[in-house]
Every structure is written in C-alpha cells, then in structure tokens.
C-alpha cells in the first residue's frame, strides 16, 4: 500500500470513529491501524466537563491572561478527551485551556481522543493534572489520595506514575492530617509547605493550632515555626515529676521486721491509696529455697 493510501485510510478511519454513536472509541480504524492519540478539532460545545477534575479553583486573572495568549498564539497544547457518543466528548485533562478558549471566543479546540473507562479516566486526569498544572499542595495531596483509594494503587506505584520520590508523596499525603483551618491557609498561600510540614511535627491538635495561629499573627518564618515546634515536643516529652508517697510508720516497722525475719533485703512500695507490693530479694537458687522454707516456719 502506498503512503498516500495509508493516509487516506487513516483519515477515513478517524472520520468513522468521530461519527460513531458508540460510547467508547474502537481501538482500530477500518484499515486495521491504531488511531488512538490522533488530534482532531472539536467544537467546544461538544466537550463536557470532567467529573473527576481534581482542581476546583482557577484564578480569573490567570485565565484571562491565557485567553489573551490564545487569541494571538492559538492552542499550543491540545486538551485530552474521551468519546461519549455521537459528537459528545468528556474532558480528561486541560480544563484551564478549555475555559480560556471559551473566554477567547474560540469555537473549536485541538484535542487528543483517547480510550478510557472511568477508572482509567480518573487516573489519567489526576496524573496529568499533577504533572502539568500548577495545583496547590492540598489539591496535589487530594489527587494523590484519590489515586490510591479510587485507582487501588500503592504509594510505591503512585510515586512511579507521578515521577516523585516516595518520601515526597508521603509528605503531601500527610498534609491531609492537618486541621481544615491549616489546609485552607495552605491553599490560600497564607503559609507555605515548609510551615505545614513543621506544624505536622506536633502530634496533638491543640498545641499545633496554637502555633499555627501564632504563625499567622507574628508572620513566623519556617525556621521559627520549626524551632517552636521542637520546643513544644521537648516540653511534652520531659518526664513528669512523680510524687513519692512516704511509707507510714507501720509499714516502716514491718519492713524492719521482715528484713530481720528473712535475713534479706526487703522493699515495700505503697501509693497514696494504700495499694502496693512487698519484694523479697534472693541471691541464688539456694537462697531462694531458704526463703521458701522460712515462709513455712
């Protein structure tokens, strides 16, 4: 088959796929060649939002700037969609570009058309957004958590998919253990990832929130928060002074009597409620047998 013939066959195959009423794209075109990954110009009106989109906030100013760029330069990077039916597509990734294209007044947008079931779609959406979009740390953490829980993958597999060290993935996931107020402050860039990691060093919620509030009020640096968190941990780990309850006279007298009777060291411990124990010391097995015989006398 000539090169020209191949191109025509591929073109007919892609056209047939785009007009197919089937829910998902078939994996091969009529010529038997794979067409997944081909780029098509799709009407914006035929693309519906991605229900798995991890990003829920877009800065209006940034979108307007991107829209201006699109007016002059066009769409540099195609969005990614999956076919849902005849002339119906669902966005997998590129929501920011899609929104900006609408603002710019475009009627069509270049798009990769891919085969994906819901789980594959979720995984692709999350991975591509994590890698390509400027998500805030909490959005990244939520995306990581969704990949683990909804796509049933391990942290090790996740680190491979997103191209991050496992320790980096773990640090992001730990952010979800923070109180909602701290997570919101991290989203709003009132504190940094460094501040959040320092606050995570405090196990209990109350002292952590106290330090968080001080961080905002005093505009503390990451180093200052780390130092204060370390002081809080050191203070809480210091051994508490135990109140020593002195033995009453009767117990002291009994201790002397028992020491004399058994001819060995005797310890008597008693708390403020009168509960305690008596300990007899022995040096070897022979001494142990001696004490037992002495008890039966």
Alpha carbons 86 and 28: distance in angstroms, whole number: 17
CB 52 within 8 A of CB 141: no
Element (H, E) at 261: helix 249-262
Give residue 54's pLDDT band: very low, low, confident or very high (50, 70, 90): low
Q: What is the mean pLDDT of residues 39-53?
A: 82
**Range name among 11-20, 165-174, 196-205, 262-271 with the lowest pLDDT average:** 11-20
Q: Which residues are catalytic?
A: 95
For 130, the token pair is 């994590």
Highest mean pLDDT: which of 19-28, 49-58, 140-149?
140-149
Query: Angle CA(169)–CA(173)–CA(178) in degrees, nearest 5?
Result: 145
pLDDT at 25 over 60: no
Cα 134 to the chain's mean position, in Å?
A: 16
Give residue 43's pLDDT band: very low, low, confident or very high (50, 70, 90): very high
Q: What is the mean pLDDT of residues 86-113?
A: 86
137, 195, 192, 202: which is closest to 169 by C-alpha? 137
pLDDT at 34 over 80: no
CB 62 within 8 A of CB 5: no
Alpha carbons 46 and 52: distance in angstroms, whole number: 18
**Range name among 119-133, 209-223, 232-246, 266-280 with the lowest pLDDT average:** 232-246
CATH classification code of 3-124: 3.90.1530.30
Beta bridge partners of residue 34, listed in sequence order? 28
Q: What is the mean pLDDT of residues 3-17?
A: 39
- pLDDT (tens digit per residue) in 205-249: 899 999 999 999 999 999 999 999 998 887 765 444 445 578 888
Q: What is the mean pLDDT of residues 8-35?
A: 39
CB 16 within 8 A of CB 30: yes
What separation in angstroms does the CA of 18 have from each of 100, 231, 275?
Answer: 24, 64, 84
pTM of the model: 0.47
237, 173, 228: which is closest to 199 by C-alpha? 228
If 0-12 CB within 10 Å is exposed, 13-18 middle and 19+ buried, where does residue 83 land?
buried
Give residue 155's pLDDT band: very low, low, confident or very high (50, 70, 90): confident
For 177, the token pair is 């253990």
Alpha carbons 173 and 188: distance in angstroms, whole number: 18
Give residue 118's pLDDT band: very low, low, confident or very high (50, 70, 90): low
- Pick the more confident residue, 54 or 14: 54
Which residues, 6 or more positions from 102, have their beta carbon under 8 angstroms from its beta carbon? Answer: 44
- pLDDT (tens digit per residue) in 196-209: 999 999 988 899 99
Highest mean pLDDT: which of 15-19, 76-80, 187-191?
187-191
């Amino acid at each position: 088959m000539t090169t020209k013939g191949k191109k025509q066959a591929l073109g007919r195959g892609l056209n047939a796929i785009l007009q197919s009423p089937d829910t998902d794209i078939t994996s091969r075109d009529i010529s038997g060649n794979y067409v997944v990954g081909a780029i098509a110009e799709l009407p914006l009106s035929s693309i519906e939002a991605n229900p798995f989109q991890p990003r829920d906030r877009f800065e209006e100013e940034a979108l307007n700037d991107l829209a201006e760029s699109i007016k002059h330069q066009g769409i540099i990077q195609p969005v990614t969609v999956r076919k849902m039916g005849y002339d119906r597509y669902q966005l997998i990734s590129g929501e920011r570009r899609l929104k900006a294209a609408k603002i710019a007044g475009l009627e069509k947008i270049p798009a990769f058309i891919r085969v994906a079931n819901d789980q594959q779609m979720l995984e692709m959406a999350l991975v591509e957004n994590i890698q390509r979009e400027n998500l805030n740390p909490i959005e990244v953490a939520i995306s990581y958590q969704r990949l683990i829980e909804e796509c049933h993958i391990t942290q090790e597999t996740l680190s491979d998919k997103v191209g991050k060290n496992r320790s980096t993935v773990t640090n992001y996931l730990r952010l979800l253990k923070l109180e909602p107020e701290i997570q919101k402050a991290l989203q709003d860039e009132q504190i940094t990832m460094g501040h959040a990691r320092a606050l995570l060093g405090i196990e209990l919620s109350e002292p952590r929130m106290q330090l968080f509030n001080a961080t905002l009020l005093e505009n503390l640096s990451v180093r200052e928060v780390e130092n204060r968190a370390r002081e809080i941990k050191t203070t809480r780990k210091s051994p508490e002074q135990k109140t020593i309850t002195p033995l009453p006279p009767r117990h002291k007298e009994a201790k002397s009597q028992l020491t004399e009777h058994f001819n060995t060291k005797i310890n008597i411990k008693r708390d403020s409620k009168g509960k305690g124990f008596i300990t007899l010391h022995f040096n070897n097995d022979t001494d142990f047998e001696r004490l037992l015989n002495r008890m039966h006398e």
